[in-house]
Structure 1
């Protein structure tokens, strides 16, 4: 049974309840001071706590989709599956392979011209050498004859760390929200390219080019737009591209947009932080090179290398987020010709519930700053 199976959660929860009941029932018998009684008490307490923690962990993972499988949880390599066909829409799709499709969670999702389509793809980085799975949401307009000769703006959507790309579809509901915004006349049709920033799992690369390691920034700044542009009807100019993410994905979105305004015209960081994390999940990102560490610090960059352009959106809340002060500092440091906007909630934590409140206006903001041509 899979990690996210409701049956697994139910079994573990039932076992926790059973062990708790057994502890209450057997405790008087184990109250003696003998070695057997002490061992019994310790065993019951440990077993009850372990199953309780496992139940909570499974419930949280099912809600937020941090890990999609046992193999993903334990960092084991997973096969990507059997290649079925290539993505349509371009003469040169050598760097992207479509391995499946699925219907969006919208009315009429079974008909592409009504509900759009979601492609599951594998992107092969020409320069970085990185291969990463992703989901590509194509809006209904992409399949309509009236739009047959039109290119579409594209938005790269990133999860947090560790995150699962599936969470962008089911938990954060990006395709459905984009569909609703267009239907309400508040956004233009956009292609969404959804994936997680940890393209070298289980390592958190913080979207930097690591010396003698994964070239993650190159993958997002150059390889990904190239592969998508060769495979779908997407514009090739910066004004055609945006990037958005939450938490680690938010930091990555702002960082990529800040350093590559020639590729991404608009960048949105939901609950972002502003300096690359350095901890056991990242390993040695900079190999002692201070110039690389400085470059990954967005505040340092804004102070020492002001952006030549681009638009930035940052979000925070007055209660529940720990990035309020740093977000205000980021806003103060962005100077013309760059532009900055913000969403500041009265309260909201670092979680899916908060981000679902921010995604609709963020997609509208991106739509207003991107061009189809």
Structure 2
């Protein structure tokens, strides 16, 4: 039974009802020695507690898209086939643009909460050695005959940790929010792509390449990118690409944009952090060397040639804002950093805050990328 499916949710509700009815029906009817009666009553109370907690967890999980399936929840999922040392640029000497085109099979997204128009595919990363699902949403103009020769800009969107690739389409409702804005010309018609980022069970990869462990950076910035340009009328130059994320995904977005100005023109960080230690379970928080190598602030400070990229950073006091200010202070042309403070009491570190920011983010992205 699917962790996020309606049958499991209804089952938890039914179990809660049963857990409430049992004590009412049996409490005074339990026979036997006093110790047996006490044990039976204790088990009924424990059953009621467990079922109630389970139902609340399912509601929270379905609302915030934290865990996609049982493997993600139990930390037993492994989406890494190989993790070769791919070198500083994460390509292993392979030019992705020179790789043969591979056409993927796409089907409508199985989770209807993601809204209309979302497609999914199972991608085997040819360079990264990662395998996972990728979701694609096409703008309303994509099938318009007037745009048949148009190549569209792309935004790669990343969730937090734990987090599901479905979250931007489900919880943040990006497709439903953007469709009318694109139809009115308020924002550019972007292709939105959401790849799996939970690759190693209950460990956050930090979206990094760590030989012998995972090549998450290459998965996101090379393999997923190549799949999109192979299968859709998508721009293939950095000027037409951006990456956006929230929480741990915000850290990833800023880092990828700073590290790869040849792949992304812009990065969006919503309530993120610079130091990987902001997510203690991250592989990149395990040593000072990994922390420095994957800290976008340190990357900007030591860059001999400032990257040609634009960053949008938002957050509340103590939840991303100070990190954004630090990035802005470290940035040198052509790097630009736009920092927005989230007011206190606006909703904290949560999806309700990030959902409200979607229109502002895509208006800003419209100004940054070629379309």
Question: TM tier, shorter chain?
Answer: 0.7 to 0.9
CA distance in 1, matches of 2:297, 2:239: 24
TM-superposed deviation, 1:190 = 1.1
Tell me which residue corresponds to 1:125: 125
TM-superposed deviation, 1:338 = 0.8
CA distance in 2, matches of 1:104, 1:239: 32
Tell me which residue corresponds to 2:93: none
Tell me which residue corresponds to 1:223: 223
- For the 8 Å contact 2:16–2:52, the answer to whether it is kept is yes
| Runs of 5+ consecutive residues of structure 2 not aligned to the other structure | 80-96
Q: Give the aligned CA root-mean-square deviation in angstroms.
A: 3.3
Out of 72, 75, 98, the position equivalent to 2:105 is 98
- For the 8 Å contact 2:271–2:349, the answer to whether it is kept is yes
CA distance in 1, matches of 2:29, 2:67: 41
CA distance in 2, matches of 1:57, 1:176: 26
Deviations 1:136-168 (A, max 9, x none): 112232222222222111111112222222222
- For the 8 Å contact 2:251–2:273, the answer to whether it is kept is yes
Tell me which residue corresponds to 1:292: 290
Tell me which residue corresponds to 2:341: 344
Residue 279 and residue 176 in structure 1: after superposition, are their counterparts in 2 closer, same or farther (change >3 A)?
closer
Tell me which residue corresponds to 2:328: 331
Greater displacement, 124-133 / 69-78: 69-78
TM (normalized to structure 1)? 0.81
Deviations 1:231-275 (A, max 9, x none): 222222211110111111111111100111121010001111222
CA distance in 1, matches of 2:98, 2:323: 45
- For the 8 Å contact 1:302–1:334, the answer to whether it is kept is yes
Tell me which residue corresponds to 2:210: 210
Tell me which residue corresponds to 1:304: 302
Question: Counterparts of 1:1-373 in structure 2 under 5 Å?
Answer: 1-20=1-20, 22-23=22-23, 34-75=34-75, 94-95=101-102, 97-101=104-108, 117-277=117-277, 281-282=281-282, 284-285=283-284, 290-305=288-303, 307-318=306-317, 322-346=319-343, 347-372=346-371
TM-superposed deviation, 1:94 = 4.0
CA distance in 2, matches of 1:16, 1:266: 47
TM-superposed deviation, 1:13 = 3.5
Greater displacement, 295-304 / 46-55: 295-304
- For the 8 Å contact 1:196–1:249, the answer to whether it is kept is no
CA distance in 2, matches of 1:74, 1:236: 38
- For the 8 Å contact 1:96–1:228, the answer to whether it is kept is no
TM-superposed deviation, 1:352 = 1.8
CA distance in 1, matches of 2:227, 2:316: 36
CA distance in 2, matches of 1:96, 1:239: 24
CA distance in 1, matches of 2:252, 2:144: 34
Deviations 1:33-82 (A, max 9, x none): 95334423432332222112111101111211222333443345599xxx
CA distance in 1, matches of 2:35, 2:20: 22
- For the 8 Å contact 1:155–1:191, the answer to whether it is kept is yes
Tell me which residue corresponds to 1:83: none
Greater displacement, 132-141 / 357-366: 132-141
Residue 360 and residue 93 in structure 1: after superposition, are their counterparts in 2 closer, same or farther (change >3 A)?
farther
- For the 8 Å contact 2:273–2:319, the answer to whether it is kept is no
CA distance in 1, matches of 2:153, 2:111: 19
- For the 8 Å contact 1:343–1:358, the answer to whether it is kept is no
| Runs of 5+ consecutive residues of structure 1 not aligned to the other structure | 80-89, 110-116
SS in 2 for 1:140: coil
- For the 8 Å contact 1:95–1:227, the answer to whether it is kept is yes
CA distance in 2, matches of 1:336, 1:121: 39
CA distance in 2, matches of 1:145, 1:13: 48
CA distance in 2, matches of 1:61, 1:260: 33
